[in-house]
Structure 1
Amino acid sequence: MKPVIELSKVNEVKKLLRRTKLNTVCEESRCPNISECFWNRTATFMILGDRCTRGCTFCNVKRKYPQPVDPEEPYRLLDAVRKLDLKYVVITSVTRDDLPDGGASHFAECIRVLKENVPDVKVEVLVPDFRGRREALERVLREGPDVLNHNIETVKRLYPKVRIGSSYERSLNLLKVSKEVAPHIPTKSALIVGFGETMEEVLEAMADLRSVNCDFLTVGQYFAPSLKHYPVIKFYSREEFSLLEREAYSLGFKFVACGPEVRSSYRAFEGWLASQRS
């Protein structure tokens, strides 16, 4: 059961984000867990602006020409993390195909600034695919994130309709390369269901993730942000989510969260703790 949310605490976090001029994926994607997370004084920070260069048909993030990279953003992020007294920080970004390294050096700088200035902070990064550039991924991994997250989002068959401009194989390969370069850093991915995939296709995608040694998995229901977005084809039952969770654990994932409102950063700290116990 979710706690009773105190709106004053939620608004306090929103005001802090406005003062520090930071974006969150919580707000941009209209995450259903936003009040719960803000009430707990947590947020998934979205760096590199709020404009994406890709055209995913399920996503609510703006699709406009992106802004210049702000070199002060890592320090504004540090300010927010200190004021929220966070011990576990999730950082993601819009996709920035306009940048030579896809924004990898900016991710790295954010990790470095936090690690150097906040004792014992844990940092999870949810990165784009960097167009498959191995050197970009290596740049992020050198700063020692505590979890490397990259979402495949949907099954292979639906990529041309749902993840325009992205590649199923490229996303799997990023997770594979991360384990090759930094085997000690847990990897994580997410699936959203309801686009018209079959249960067999979801299970195949989960098996594909385990084939590249992905450690953590989240699976959530797709809710269309508007009538202009990709339509919801199916609403999964809680029994079906429970089935997917059991199957995921049987495949060997160390931590799994499945449910209608589950999103990639949901219970992120619990995933990291699970990796420490194994």
Structure 2
Amino acid sequence: MKTKRKEPLAKPDWLRIKLTTDGNYAEIKDMMRSKTLHSVCEEARCPNIYECWANRTATFMILGDICTRACRFCAVKTGMPTELDLQEPERVAEAAEQMGLRHCVVTSVARDDLADGGASIFVGTIHAIRARLPLCSVEVLIPDFLGNRDSLQLVMDAKPDILNHNIETVRRLSDRVRARAKYDRTLELLRRAKEMNPDIPTKSSIMLGLGEEWDEILQTMDDLRAVGCNILTLGQYLQPTKSHLQVERYVHPDEFAKLKEEGLARGFSHVESAPLVRSSYHAHEQVQSAAKAEAVMK
């Protein structure tokens, strides 16, 4: 028997988004189309797309726009991808150069159909960006590669400036929220990344409003710190369509502020915590802040 869906909660005032569709926004949208590129900003219906594109920043999504998983929080299309675009890394690098980026974030759909999960395309993208923009830092937000250690090693050997992999939610809710991804596999990936190269900062993100309890959030923070995770982002889950998980609660900005304090007290070098925060939101500023904090800790 299906559970009857509840009436959706009304969005509070603090989640109102300012729409900015100036020249920069239009230029980046046209560039993405002309180079046949995808951005997680569009595919995942990120609420910050107007602000970020107006400021000439974007998170590139490689390996196509069809994900082999169907996570219950994510708006990215699900299905079986038909091909692998080997020219994609070079087009991403061209776009990054055209945008004059100082910090480039690259993520992807999950490609469980590929033997290496798409790791080689991540590596090609990192190299292509650095060939065109030697001074641009590169952050990769990777899938779990189904726990394939060799795939992670390929990415770590390319030496991204930040290795990001999202835990998404607390342990109790993980199987309901994510598809195929596992809470402990995420922790193991972050642990292995540190083992492979301790000097590369690692980062993860938690969505709030899915039914998690305060103590569970703190436990997730502790679990991430136990595997050496350096940077944490926390944001409000927003239901992308009626077929996705409903929002259980809108978390007040004051609670996000308290969670930032909790995270910093636990030793994260940087914590970005607010309702509209997403994993790559203000990514360049996160890197700078974390680097300063790490320098002080040493």
Moved over 4 A (4+): none
Aligned residues of 1:23 and 1:50 also touching (Cα < 8 A): yes
Q: Which of 225, 244, 249 pairs up with 1:234?
A: 249
Aligned residues of 2:205 and 2:233 also touching (Cα < 8 A): yes
Q: Which of 162, 167, 174 pairs up with 1:147?
A: 162
CA distance in 1, matches of 2:115, 2:148: 10
The CA RMSD over aligned residues, in Å, is: 1.4
2:42 matched to 1:27? yes
Q: Name the TM-score, length of structure 2 as normaliser.
A: 0.91
Q: How is 1:12-23 mapped onto 2 (pairs within 5 angstroms)?
A: 12-23=27-38
2:228 matched to 1:213? yes
CA distance in 2, matches of 1:29, 1:176: 27
CA distance in 1, matches of 2:245, 2:255: 22
Aligned residues of 1:49 and 1:67 also touching (Cα < 8 A): no
2:178 matched to 1:173? no
Q: Secondary structure at the match of 1:76?
A: helix
Q: Which of 109, 134, 137 pairs up with 1:94?
A: 109
CA distance in 2, matches of 1:148, 1:61: 21
Q: Secondary structure at the match of 1:204?
A: helix
Q: Which letter maps to 1:14?
A: K
Aligned residues of 1:22 and 1:76 also touching (Cα < 8 A): yes
Residue 186 of structure 1: aligned partner? 201
2:7 matched to 1:7? no
Q: Which letter maps to 1:258?
A: S
Q: Which letter maps to 2:179?
A: I
Q: How is 1:1-278 mapped onto 2 (pairs within 5 angstroms)?
A: 5-277=20-292, 278=295
Q: Which letter maps to 1:54?
A: R
Shift of residue 6, structure 1, vs aligned partner: 5.0
Q: Which letter maps to 1:35?
A: Y
CA distance in 2, matches of 1:112, 1:119: 10
CA distance in 1, matches of 2:141, 2:82: 20
Work out the percentage of aligned pairs sharing the same amino acid: 47
Unaligned runs of 5+ in 2: 1-16
Q: Secondary structure at the match of 1:165?
A: coil
Shift of residue 3, structure 1, vs aligned partner: 8.7
Unaligned runs of 5+ in 1: none
Q: Deviations over 1:157-192 (max 9, x none)?
A: 111210121100000110000000010000000000
Q: Size of the alignment, in residue pairs?
A: 278
Shift of residue 4, structure 1, vs aligned partner: 8.3
Aligned residues of 2:236 and 2:276 also touching (Cα < 8 A): yes
